[in-house]
Structure 1
Amino acid sequence: MNARERIARRAAQEFKDGMFVNLGIGIPVLAANYIAEEVDVTLQSENGILGFGPNPEVNEVEQCFCNAAGDPITRVLDTSIFDLQTSFSMIRGGHLDMTVLGALEVDQEGNIANWALPYTENAYGPGPGGAMDLLVGAKKIVVTITHNAKNGAPKILKKCTMNLSAKNAVDLIITELAVIEVTEKGLVLKEIAPETTVEEVVLKTEADLIIPDDVKTMSF
């Protein structure tokens, strides 16, 4: 199981019966593949879909139906398709119980940076998209992010260095190594991966972490 799958599986555990949940581009859309059968959740995609299931098998792909990342989805009985105006009315109107978003950086104040401008002549980061609307419109913000960049640099910082998408918005951070809750007192380490130690998580995190006595083990 690679890091992205581990994160997506753990993120899906945050889904509860009756929730309306938006899934963003990247790791978040993978969470649709790991929702427990007993959990009745309605997924929303900012490109104009309410009610969809996991990625289909290759021979079952319907080319007209995709999530925010452009990946194919399966329709369910109550799938609805609509325009962006309707989609963002849902988002900005506070009708989403939760959004799961990717990020480039997140910090110990709950600030998040998940978009970037061109950073070399021929290389570009992702644009803002609908993240800013989701970060102020959804009731709970879950960030799914690999704990460190490819060069080993931490992504969970004392203070974000990139352009912010929103301030003090994040509620929960899920990585392949840990689950971290954002509180008024700071970042609380709630869970660590089975083969990981608290010391390793602290070493790989720039932000200060509050370590409770009952840190649990993540399950996937």
Structure 2
Amino acid sequence: MARPRSPMRSIVVPPRPVGNRPALRGSADGAWTPLPSRGMDRWTPLPTLHAMRPRMLLPVAGAAALASLVLAPAGAARAAAEAPVSPVLIGDLTLSAYATVAARDAPAADAYVRMERLIGASPTQRWELRDHTDGGTAVVNESAGSCLTVTPLGIGPWVEQRACGGGPLESWDIRSGDDGTVFVNRATGTCLTQPPAIAPPGQDSRLSAVPCDDGPEQLFGLVV
């Protein structure tokens, strides 16, 4: 019998502007209402930094907390809350693959985000969590300066890197618990999803956004 997952907790991101739009302060009082997806009612708001289990994959309580390391004790993590925001890697739970955008010299049409093995300190795999104008979170790639965005309906379930414009398709609610971190798109209510862990050769490595189902492909590990 699979062990029940612990309640998921909100990530509260300090205000930081996206593009030329002013930043709005995200809700730290739990006012956001979870979207009606299966399992989402188990999430509970977390307005302040919470203690992390040893060897956790960094359940993050806010963008300012990203400067703390995975194994930092709770006291050190709280002290790091005033540190500058650090870009993060968005990996699978085994930390064997990470969300990656195409290099700058790639064809312009290749805007997809893929799960790839670690590429040194490549900025194509580094992301900043910034406050979105609607109170959610914009996930911005350090290399391209573009936002993780759900493609419009009719194109497919894929997510892409697109110019940050403050639109709802680039706004995410990021929830963290002992099992990992979930990215829920505010516009569609879908969850950021990895390709299946066990797949035949040639399996598409692109990230998608599909209905939330509590599956392991929708759990991520964030590391500094």
Structure 1 length-normalised TM: 0.26
- If each structure's helix is expressed as a fraction of its own residues, which one has the higher value? 1
Which gives a bigger RCO, structure 1 or 2 (Cα 8 Å, sep 6+)?
2
TM-score normalised over the length of structure 2: 0.26
